[in-house]
Copies of this chain bind each other. A is one copy, B any other.
Amino acid sequence: MTDGLTIGQAAAFVGVTIKTVRHYHRLGLVAEPERDGSGYRRYRSDELYRLVQVRTLAAAGVPLAEVGDLLDADPTTFAATLDDVHDQLTERIEDLTARRDRLHRLDHGDRALLPDRACAVLERLVELGFGPDYVAAQREALVLALALVPAIFDSFLARLEHSLDDPESVELTKRGWDARTWDPDDPRIEELASTLADKLLTQRALLAMPTGFEDQSDAASRYAMVNHHREDRSPSIARLNTLVEANLRAAGVTVPSQ
């Protein structure tokens, strides 16, 4: 015949922490019990019962904000609310599962941020004798393209694959990469730009924008951002790109700028 349990005992009995019990009091989910002469809370079975109800619902994933209404609701509302919570939990589970799957796909070394097909292209670059710096630059460009212009990522990749099948293109690309160390005023840059533009014009079909992409309002800026990535690290490359674009425009090709 005691006058009730202390908060520590009550918490232990229903399997929560003291802090949690006080939290429920503050949220109004469990009424404050009587206090004894020292100001200690003293719990009777009524409060214990309520505590068990709250803990059971909370453990089942019902947000505390809804537990109070739920326990005071009629059975129909009760069931409907539980259905809601059930659906929300399902949604969160599916979201987390999707994240985990994405993570799983990222989980194998180099294919960190890119799909398999893009990784294969990067490996071909290594086999073809491109240096690690060039491969790294291409990787960055591909990551950027995938994120900024996913709609044309595949055609971007196709153009790259196609040019790697052509030894002449490979040679020109290597020479273009070498240009990064040249002086920006080196006359070889203009010559190289002209050759590169001619080469590109032989594959005119590949230069066309995929349908459905042009009408995206900022498509051009996004595309330009990918094309000019890392350009600021080498003024010679920047000049080379500018000249190639000018040549292409002169030949009637639409090249996004700005």
Closest to A83 in B: B107
Alpha-carbon gap, A78 to B110, bound state (A): 10
Determine if B147 and A14 form an interchain contact, defined as CB atoms under 8 angstroms apart. Answer: yes
Number of copies: 2
Q: Is the interface of A mostly helix, strand, loop or mixed?
A: helix
The segment out of A117-125, A151-159, A207-215, A222-230 that lies at the interface is: A222-230
Q: Mark each residue of chain A from 215 to 258: 1 if its CB lies under 8 Å from any CB of chain B, else 0.
A: 00010011001101111100000000000000000000000001
Alpha-carbon gap, A184 to B110, bound state (A): 81
A203 at the interface (CB under 8 A from B): no
A204 at the interface (CB under 8 A from B): no
Residues in B with CB closer than 8 Å to A62 are 103
Residues in B with CB closer than 8 Å to A109 are 75, 78-79
Residues in B with CB closer than 8 Å to A104 are 86
A40 at the interface (CB under 8 A from B): no
A131 at the interface (CB under 8 A from B): no
A85 at the interface (CB under 8 A from B): yes
User: Using a CB-CB cutoff of 8 Å, which residues 1-37 of chain A contact chain B?
Assistant: 1-2, 5, 9, 12-15
* Given A59-B102, A104-B86, A148-B13, A113 contacting B53 (CB threshold 8 A): yes
The segment out of A41-49, A162-170, A174-182 that lies at the interface is: A41-49
User: Using a CB-CB cutoff of 8 Å, which residues 81-105 of chain A contact chain B?
Assistant: 82-83, 85-86, 89-90, 92-93, 96-97, 99-100, 102-104
**Residues of A at under 8 Å CB distance from B?**
1-2, 5, 9, 12-15, 44-46, 48-49, 52-53, 55-57, 59-62, 75, 78-79, 82-83, 85-86, 89-90, 92-93, 96-97, 99-100, 102-104, 106-110, 112-113, 140, 143-144, 146-148, 218, 221-222, 225-226, 228-232, 258
